[in-house]
């Protein structure tokens, strides 16, 4: 996937998702009934998981299509490349010949001189071998995605972990599993219009930042190990920006 195509894919994919969320939330505001509020929460989650997963796979596809030597890339790509070989070794029962282990060492020896080319099967919509939300895209799973892509962990998201795990994912799971949900008086989320709006704004802010980060990484070639100092500086600024934006929504 060429750079311009990748940038367009992210913009288009996030755009239609935000439009659907906005339209359904608009119905909530005009017809304040519980079933619409529940539906809005479920749609927010659906687009949260769908966008993060698709954006991650699109970014890996872009880097893969560049055919860059692994030795020039950040360490996450070298780790991805040997993932399949490591899996074969761990599953091997051929303990006498060590054939799989020898194969791994041969592959590892020529590791840095080969191009990073991701098997297309990993990029398929339903493939969960590399990018796997486990049907519950929590802050911890999101952080794992960032690690796979070479993005730095964001303290801004870690600071929202309890809110996202309990108010967002906990209630989404209850609704999707057909359970009745109740709220304490001091709960940070109560399924009201105002709490749905706050949740919507927080999730969309994180999605926007994820898109911006991936686009910046692609444009500035932060997947290259030679650019790691510049990447670190960008990551710090990005985290501060997200932290400031989320604070305004608190």
**CA separation for the pair 218, 61 (Å, rounded):** 11
pLDDT of residue 81: 84
pLDDT of residue 91: 59
Each residue of 213-243: pLDDT tens digit? 999 999 999 999 999 999 999 999 999 999 9
What DSSP assignment string belongs to 160-178?
THHIIIIIIIIHHHHHHTT
pLDDT of residue 130: 87
Model confidence at 56: pLDDT above 90: yes
- Whole-structure pTM over 0.95, yes or no? no
| Residue 119: φ, ψ to 5° | -55, 130
Contact 199, 44 (CB under 8 A): yes
**CA separation for the pair 125, 216 (Å, rounded):** 24
Each residue of 143-182: pLDDT tens digit? 999 999 999 999 999 999 999 999 999 999 999 988 888 7
**CA separation for the pair 145, 65 (Å, rounded):** 20
pLDDT of residue 127: 86
pLDDT of residue 135: 87
The ranges assigned to domains in the chain are 3-67+123-248, 68-116
Contact 131, 124 (CB under 8 A): no
Each residue of 79-135: pLDDT tens digit? 888 775 565 555 555 555 566 667 666 666 667 788 999 888 888 888 888 898 888
Contact 62, 1 (CB under 8 A): yes
Q: What is the mean pLDDT of residues 20-48?
A: 95
Sign of dihedral through CA atoms 220, 221, 222, 225?
A: negative
**CA separation for the pair 37, 24 (Å, rounded):** 9
**CA separation for the pair 88, 14 (Å, rounded):** 37
Burial class from Cβ neighbours inside 10 Å (0-12, 13-18, 19+) for residue 27 reads middle
Provide the 3-class DSSP secondary structure of residue 119: coil
């Amino acid at each position: 996937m060429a750079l311009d195509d990748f940038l367009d894919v992210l913009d288009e994919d996030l755009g239609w998702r935000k439009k659907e969320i906005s339209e359904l939330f608009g119905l909530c505001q005009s017809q304040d009934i519980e079933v619409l509020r529940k539906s809005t929460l479920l749609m927010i989650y659906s687009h949260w998981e769908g966008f993060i997963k698709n954006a991650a796979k699109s970014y890996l596809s872009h880097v893969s299509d560049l055919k860059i030597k692994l030795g020039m890339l950040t360490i996450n790509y070298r780790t991805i490349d040997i993932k399949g070989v490591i899996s074969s070794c761990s599953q091997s029962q051929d303990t006498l010949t060590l054939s799989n282990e020898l194969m791994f060492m041969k592959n590892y020896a020529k590791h840095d001189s080969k191009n990073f080319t991701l098997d297309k099967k990993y990029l398929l919509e339903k493939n969960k071998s590399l990018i796997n939300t486990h049907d519950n895209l929590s802050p911890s799973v999101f952080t794992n995605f960032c690690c796979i892509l070479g993005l730095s962990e964001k303290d801004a998201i870690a600071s929202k972990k309890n809110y996202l795990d309990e108010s967002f994912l906990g209630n989404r799971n209850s609704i999707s599993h057909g359970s009745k949900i109740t709220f304490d008086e001091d709960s940070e989320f109560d399924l009201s219009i105002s709490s749905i709006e706050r949740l919507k704004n927080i999730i969309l802010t994180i999605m926007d930042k994820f898109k911006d980060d991936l686009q910046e990484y692609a444009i500035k070639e932060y997947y290259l190990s030679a650019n790691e100092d510049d990447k670190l500086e960008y990551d710090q600024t990005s985290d501060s920006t997200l932290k400031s934006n989320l604070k305004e929504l608190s």
